[in-house]
């Protein structure tokens, strides 16, 4: 690995359930509450790390029900993209 990894976040249409469904459908990418290994890791804060925080507070912090956080790892790019695509379908 010659360059730093990428951290990003994105929102899905459909709210809380869409985030849960997406995370549950991942096959290769790892569901995790901490984004810090060389694997591609994704988290759905509204149902994981911030589950106990009232929705109004989460939204004040920019954490929507459908927010997904992703730390891109060192796997083959096509494998990552294929996993994300199948989880979205």
The CATH number covering residue 70 comes to 3.90.1150.10
Residue 33 inside a domain? The answer is yes
What pTM was computed for the model?
A: 0.82
- Which pLDDT value is given to residue 77? 92
- Which pLDDT value is given to residue 68? 95
- Which pLDDT value is given to residue 82? 97
- Residue identified by tokens 């106990």 is 52
- 41 burial type by CB count under 10 A (0-12 exposed, 13-18 middle, 19+ buried): buried
Residue 60 inside a domain? The answer is yes
Residue 66 inside a domain? The answer is yes
Specify which residues 6 forms β-bridges with. Answer: 72
Do residues 47 and 16 touch, judged by C-beta distance below 8 A? yes
Q: What is the pLDDT along the chain (89 residues), one digit of tens a residue?
A: 566 667 889 999 999 999 999 999 999 998 887 767 889 999 999 999 999 999 999 999 999 999 999 999 889 999 999 999 999 99
SS3 69: strand
């Amino acid at each position: 690995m010659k360059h730093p990894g990428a951290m990003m976040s994105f929102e899905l249409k459909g709210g809380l359930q869409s985030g849960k469904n997406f995370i549950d459908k991942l096959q290769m990418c790892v569901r995790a509450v901490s984004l810090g290994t060389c694997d591609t890791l994704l988290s759905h804060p509204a149902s994981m790390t911030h589950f106990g925080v009232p929705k109004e507070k989460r939204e004040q912090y920019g954490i929507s029900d459908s927010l997904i956080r992703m730390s891109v790892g060192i796997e083959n790019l096509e494998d990552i993209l294929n996993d994300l695509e199948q989880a979205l379908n």
